[in-house]
Amino acid sequence: MSEELKPCPFCGGEAIRGTFNVWCGSCRAETDKDDTDVTDQDVITAWNTRPSPWISVEDELPEETEGIWLCKTKNGAIEVLARNYGYASEWDFDCQCVTHFMPIPPLPEKGSE
């Protein structure tokens, strides 16, 4: 019996099994689909063991001018914001606490899908 697919490591969305890959129904992140010589379990394992792109602020801080996504908590709720890191006030204000960040990926080129 196959292992159950875990939620998307990027957004927590539902994972969808394709013929040769898995993708997220929310953010469309996907596993590599170039290798057609894989078993069902190989594809599921690849999806379930992908590392999260979120970096704990306890492990490192972003570059001063880097565009980032911030993950903050406030009264038990999680909020994600796009910011340019550079001011200490962005890390702890209005009783919010930044716990993780990740670089904002480059925008897709015009005409790409």
**Secondary structure of the chain as H, E, C letters:** CCCCCCCCCCCCCCEEECCCCEEECCCCCECCCCCCCCCHHHHHHHHHCCCCCCEECCCCCCCCCCEEEEEEEECCEEEEEEEECCCHHHCCCCCCEEEEEEECCCCCCCCCC
pLDDT surpassing 70 at residue 71: yes
Is 0.85 topped by the overall pTM?
Answer: no
Mean pLDDT, rounded, for 52-60: 84
Whether pLDDT at 94 is above 70? no
As a whole number of angstroms, the distance between CA 18 and CA 11 comes to: 19
Main-chain dihedrals φ then ψ at residue 43, nearest 5 degrees: -65, -45
